[in-house]
């Protein structure tokens, strides 16, 4: 059962649903998932069932509406919990308890229940009640302060990075808990902190400070142990290619691709230390060469020589990329309101149990099916609850 909203929580249920889990997303007409009212909308037409943001994180789920504050909602919740193996939520710490849906309450209904809570800073500690979104975690972890140019203000990341990172940890945690329950018969509570999860990807910087007390700052596209290392302008309007040179072997190959120019033999560029000390000039020399070629040509020449390089692509180029197309990364699905649309597939492919993506549900789309066929309400009971506003 998926009580989560926004991005980080819903992704967990979507990933599980893609590979066959029966995931029921619980919403309410009075408290819409924020992504239902977030652009972009298909064809520019607004509507609670037309948001691309909602579609991309809620695929392969059954959607129901339930007013959790209705006096009779507890009757439905009891049936949901008795049916479910796992509950996922990402409200602020304490919210589920105030709704009567804390882990202790759920265990009274189903002792072997597994529950995952994904909050900004976890369930304990002095800032556990801190509420927010992935962008707040970008700031808290310092990622925002690390993104941008040294002489400019922080720019942050285009996507709220934690919202893409946390779900993978959540999926692994759920699968681990399910395996533990299979062996022991015991459920457990999973406390996922976006803050701590995202810090996992800052390990080198944290280690550097712990060992040397060096404070990391914005460095553009540069890397402390590679040069040249950047994104370089190429021929064409707003066309770029990324090049990274880490080893002496790569540097020698890089120079050969450029035709062994005289500047490459300058003593200033004879060592990594020298390259880093004179990196502005090094980058100018590199770009004087790259502007003569398309990014595809630069990438091809570099890769053939064994130098890491890649075209900086637009979203259009990604969508039309032959490699992603061949791998089936974009899956076409038929949505009941907006028609055909594409979902991003998992980057993991299982040979025996391939994924099967279904479109995200419309608001309350599966009410009748879930309440009668899954939870076992009679038609009369369903109509009674409906008339009383329990399914609002």
Question: Which amino acids are annotated catalytic?
Answer: 163
SS3 309: strand
SS3 114: strand
Sign of CA dihedral 350, 353, 359, 364: negative
Contact partners, residue 165, CB within 8 Å, separation at least 6: 197, 198, 201
SS3 31: strand
Of the candidates 198, 175, 177, 197, the one whose C-alpha atom is nearest the C-alpha of residue 187 is 177
Q: What angle do CA 241, 347, 322 make, to 5 degrees?
A: 50
Question: Three-class SS string for 35-87?
Answer: HHHCCCEHHHCCCCCCEHHHHHHCCCCEEEECCCCCCCHHHHHHHHHHHCCEE
Could you please report the per-residue DSSP string of 210-257? HHH-PPP---TT-BTTBSSEEEEE-SSTT-EEEEE--SHHHHHHHHHH
């Amino acid at each position: 059962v998926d009580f989560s909203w926004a991005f980080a929580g819903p992704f967990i249920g979507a990933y599980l649903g893609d590979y066959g889990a029966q995931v029921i997303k619980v919403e309410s007409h009075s408290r819409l998932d924020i992504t239902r009212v977030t652009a972009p909308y298909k064809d520019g037409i607004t509507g609670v069932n037309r948001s691309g943001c909602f579609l991309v994180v809620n695929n392969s789920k059954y959607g129901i509406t339930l007013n959790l504050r209705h006096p009779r909602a507890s009757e439905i919740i009891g049936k949901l919990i008795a049916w479910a193996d796992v509950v996922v939520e990402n409200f602020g710490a304490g919210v589920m308890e105030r709704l009567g849906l804390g882990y202790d309450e759920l265990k009274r209904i189903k002792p072997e229940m597994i529950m995952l809570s994904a909050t900004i800073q976890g369930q304990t500690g002095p800032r556990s009640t801190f509420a927010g979104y992935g962008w707040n975690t970008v700031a808290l972890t310092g990622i925002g302060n690390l993104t941008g140019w040294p002489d400019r203000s922080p720019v942050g990341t285009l996507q709220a990075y934690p919202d893409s990172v946390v779900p993978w940890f959540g999926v692994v945690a759920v699968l681990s808990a399910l395996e533990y329950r299979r062996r022991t018969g015991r459920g457990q509570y999973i406390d996922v902190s976006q803050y701590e999860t995202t810090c996992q990807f800052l390990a080198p910087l944290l280690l550097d400070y712990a060992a040397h007390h060096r404070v990391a700052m914005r460095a553009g596209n540069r890397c402390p142990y590679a040069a040249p290392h950047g994104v370089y302008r190429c021929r064409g309007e707003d066309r770029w290619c990324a090049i990274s040179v880490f080893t002496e072997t790569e540097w020698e190959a890089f120079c050969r691709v450029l035709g062994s120019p005289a500047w490459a033999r300058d003593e200033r560029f004879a060592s990594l230390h020298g390259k880093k000390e004179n990196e502005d000039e090094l980058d100018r020399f590199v770009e004087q060469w790259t502007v003569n070629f398309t990014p595809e040509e630069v990438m091809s020449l570099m890769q053939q020589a064994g130098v890491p390089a890649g075209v900086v692509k637009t979203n259009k180029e990604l969508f039309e990329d032959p490699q992603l197309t061949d791998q089936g990364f974009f899956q076409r699905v038929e949505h009941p309101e907006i028609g055909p649309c594409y979902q991003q597939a998992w980057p993991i492919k299982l040979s025996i149990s391939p994924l099967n993506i279904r479109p995200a549900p419309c608001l309350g789309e599966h009410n009748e099916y879930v309440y009668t066929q899954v939870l076992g309400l009679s038609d009369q009971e369903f109509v009674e609850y409906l008339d009383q506003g329990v399914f609002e």
